[in-house]
Chains A and B, each alone.
Chain A
């Protein structure tokens, strides 16, 4: 494409079945204790 550069294109269908196992870190425990951006948290399954 000439006008657009795609930086990131996640897989089309989001996998909801394998979602929500709850083994990952609680966001507020990680660094800041005041906010809850979750997009920097790791999934334990990967």
Chain B
């Protein structure tokens, strides 16, 4: 399988199975549509456009690449999976937890999947005790895995920061005797962020995700307090200070775009103009029937936005004024291993979320869906195997749409929570999410190709 596309005057070809990427001229681009035909048919078919000798010369080059396994290469994964069966464990190994440290929030962001910060239940804070049991659970369930991750999430985790501190220190204490290596992250809206938090976060957290949507009016339209006041003005200096204190690394400013700012590239560039070097701005998820959910008819405009954004992105890198945009960062050489590319996010088996009460769910997006409750860290380390299996047996070859998708080895199969919300099953990905993902991968491939040619 190959995928070819044109962008900003370049012709790019991806050989899906080998991962080879080529930049080709127009004649090669045209011939690629007819590679199943005989040489004569190809020459005749393109005779109005190119001469015989041109076609034959190009065809020889394409055939050479094919022989070298860099075009139309075989899909060896299918065979591998048939041989090795499903890639699942009888008892899943858990290596990452998302701790919902506070089901409470000082903001009322319209798109928050946590509704008003309380996840559709009631406002609660996780006790340090429950957090510690979650750490015990993780150590116990992680088998021989050494690197473990804990993300402090909410609601707003700064509303319960004393517990965060206690849990981190407890985990570090236990890591000494359990041969584990904990990595911590925290996601915050930054409203309460103070020196004390900053100091602790910079000392202990590998990553901090700071929520801001971009331009002031865009941010404040979605991200406001209970009394309706926007947040941009208050959070910006704090977020800037935080980013600087981490030397513009190991953090992300994270925004969400919706139907109300379809020109989101301006928000990305706004953040970059402010000096942020690590930027992630994502389409809103799980927003079915909200009015600001992204629709089919928005796609052409959104594609243009991504294309314009990547153009500017490359330009800024070239002028040494670059920034990282999460979804344009592709590692063509040394990305993750194949197994990871097959399986993606690991929700429901490797990665679980814990509510303030200690209840376990497949991931933060499933929290509160009663049918997906998998256990409770206060009641031992057992988890519902029927649920974990449901997640673990999924991979890009078990989902019909993914199997035939050219972007599968970059995407790894999409978001299970989105699939569930829009299609009521785990093996049919959310179509609009896929369309956007494929466009982002095209943009990222273009950026790589252009860089490589310089």
Contact = CB atoms under 8 A, between A and B. Distances in A.
Contacts of B412: 27, 36-39
Contact of A29 (B21, B58, B149): B149
A39 B332 CA distance: 8
A29 B96 contact: yes
Contacts of B20: 6, 8-10
17 contacts: A4-B23, A4-B25, A4-B28, A4-B65, A5-B22, A6-B21, A10-B332, A14-B76, A18-B337, A24-B340, A25-B147, A28-B345, A29-B351, A32-B280, A32-B327, A38-B412, A39-B331
B144 to A, nearest CB: 9
Nearest to B278: A31
A24 B180 CA distance: 13
Given A26-B346, A32-B254, A40-B326, A10 B337 contact: no
A35 B334 contact: no
Given A4-B22, A39-B410, A31 B280 contact: yes
Interface of A: 1-10, 12, 14-16, 18-46
Contacts of B165: none
Contacts of B230: none
Interface string B406-423: 000111111100100000
A1 B440 CA distance: 29
Interface string B4-30: 000000000000001111111101100
Contacts of A40: 326-327, 329-331, 335
B340 A44 contact: no
A41 B337 CA distance: 9
B339 A20 contact: yes
Contacts of B185: 29
Interface stretch (B121-129, B292-300, B446-454): B446-454
Contacts of A21: 337
A37 to B, nearest CB: 6
Q: Mostly helix, strand, loop or mixed at chain A's interface?
A: loop
Given A25-B149, A40-B330, A14 B338 contact: yes
B334 A37 contact: no
A15 B58 CA distance: 32
A38 B326 contact: no
Contacts of B277: none
Interface in B419-441: 433, 437, 440-441
Contacts of B22: 4-7
Contacts of A5: 22-24, 453
A39 B335 contact: yes
A37 B351 CA distance: 16
Interface string B247-280: 0000010100000000000000000000000101
Interface string B341-381: 10011110011000000000001110000000000000000
B93 interface: yes
A26 B61 contact: no
A10 B19 contact: yes
Most chain B CB within 10 A, of A16, A19, A34, is at A34
Contacts of A8: 19-21, 332-333, 448, 452
Given A4-B24, A4-B28, A31-B209, 7 more contacts: A7-B332, A7-B449, A15-B338, A27-B344, A29-B96, A30-B326, A34-B283
